[in-house]
Structure 1
Amino acid sequence: MIGRLKGNILEKQPPLVLIEAHGVGYEVHIPMTCFYELPELNHEAVLFTHFVVREDAQLLFGFNNKEERVLFRELIKINGVGPKLALAILSGMSAQQFVKAVEKEEISTLIKLPSVGKKTAELLIVEMKDRFKKLQSELFSVKNCTVSVLKSNSAEVEAVAALVSLGYKEQEAKRMIRRLDKKKPPVDCETLIREALRTAI
Structure 2
Amino acid sequence: MIGQIQGTLLAKQPPEVLVDVNGVGYEVQLPMTCFYDLPATGQPVTLVTHFVVREDAQLLYGFNSLSERSLFRLLIKTQGVGPKLALGILSGMSADEFVFAVNQNDVSRLVKLPGVGKKTAERLVIEMRDRLKDWNSATPFTDAMPVDNKGGDARVHPADTRSDAVSALVALGYKENQAEKAIQKVYSAEHTSEVLIRLALKELS
By how many angstroms is 1:200 displaced? 1.5
> AA paired with 1:114?
P
Aligned residue pairs total 189
CA distance in 2, matches of 1:111, 1:195: 19
* Whole-angstrom distance in 1 between the partners of 2:175 and 2:96: 26
SS at the partner of 1:55?
coil
TM superposition shift of 1:136? 3.9
Task: Give the counterpart of 1:188 among 187, 192, 195.
Answer: 192
- State the partner residue of 2:153: none
Opposite residue 11 of structure 2, the aligned amino acid is: E
Equivalent position to 2:165, from 159, 162, 173: 159
Inter-partner Cα distance in structure 2 for 1:137 and 1:122: 23
TM-score by length of 2: 0.88
Write the letter of the residue equivalent to 1:137.
N
1:153, 1:186 within 8 Å by CA — same for their partners in 2? no
Structure 2 unmatched runs, 5+: 147-157
Deviation of the 1:179 alpha carbon: 1.8
Residue in 2 that maps onto 1:198: 202
Deviation digits for residues 61-112 of structure 1, max 9, x if unmatched?
0000100000000000111100000000000100111111111111111000
* Secondary structure class of the residue paired with 1:179: helix
Determine the C-alpha separation between the residues in 2 that align with 1:82 and 1:12: 23
Identity %: 55
Letter in 2 for 1:5: I
How does the TM-score come out when normalised to structure 1? 0.90
Instruction: Give yes or no for the alignment of 1:174 onto 2:173.
Output: no
Verify the 8 A CA contact 1:96 1:140 in the aligned structure 2: no
Residue 148 of structure 1 is matched in structure 2 by: none
1:199 shift after superposition: 2.0
Structure 2: distance between partners of 1:31 and 1:199: 17
Q: Aligned-residue CA RMSD in angstroms?
A: 1.8
Q: How does 1:105-124 map to 2 (within 5 A)?
A: 105-124=105-124
